[in-house]
């Protein structure tokens, strides 16, 4: 049909395999299945949580990933929308709360995620808002945090996987 834009869909799939390699250290192999790119990352905890502080804690990587995801989309969509951007800075404050009874394992819950965005541009406020709206929608991490998600878990028992 004339005048109707092509709508494209594409899948973004990542897989990770983590293994323990120290007191609290985790070494993780990650594959961006869509492009066959592979990466290795590590996490650890500080001494207060029983680790050796040999790598960033998981929440540091989460904070960096969310911040970088949004910044990447701002820069990518600025080009696509032809909005001039000289520089971008984002300050993120991600907060959780943990509750522990006695010596039982604690239970964590999110409190809030705030992102302060400074875009150096000669574009109008409306154009910057349009850019930021597009970037927020295109950032897979922000899209994930903005909705309720179901996370499934399976446990290997013997040679079989059981759903938890």
Phi, psi of 157 (to 5 degrees): -125, 115
44 burial type by CB count under 10 A (0-12 exposed, 13-18 middle, 19+ buried): buried
Domain boundaries, the chain: 1-56, 57-149
Query: What CATH architecture applies to the domain 57-149?
Result: 2-Layer Sandwich (3.30)
Model confidence, pTM = 0.88
Q: How do residues 94-130 score in pLDDT, each as one tens digit?
A: 999 999 999 999 999 999 999 999 999 999 999 999 9
Tokens, residue 152: 């499934």
Closest to 95 measured CA to CA, from 126, 131, 66, 56: 66
SS3 3: coil
The mean pLDDT value for 128-146 works out to: 96
The answer on pLDDT for 2 being more than 60 is: no
Give kind and range of the element (H or E) at residue 62: helix 58-81
Supply the pLDDT for residue 1: 56
């Amino acid at each position: 049909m004339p005048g109707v834009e092509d709508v494209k869909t594409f899948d973004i799939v990542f897989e990770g395999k983590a293994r323990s390699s120290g007191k609290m250290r985790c070494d993780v192999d990650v594959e961006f299945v869509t492009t066959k790119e592979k990466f290795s990352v590590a996490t650890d905890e500080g001494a207060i949580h029983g680790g050796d502080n040999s790598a960033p804690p998981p929440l540091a990587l989460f904070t960096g990933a969310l911040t970088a995801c949004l910044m990447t989309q701002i820069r990518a969509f600025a080009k696509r929308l032809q909005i001039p951007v000289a520089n971008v800075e984002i300050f993120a404050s991600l907060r959780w709360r943990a509750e522990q009874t006695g010596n039982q394992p604690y239970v964590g819950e999110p409190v809030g995620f705030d992102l302060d965005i400074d875009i150096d541009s000669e574009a109008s406020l409306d154009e910057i808002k349009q850019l930021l709206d597009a970037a927020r929608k295109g950032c897979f991490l922000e899209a994930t945090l903005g909705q309720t998600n179901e996370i499934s878990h399976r446990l290997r028992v013997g040679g079989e996987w059981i759903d938890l």
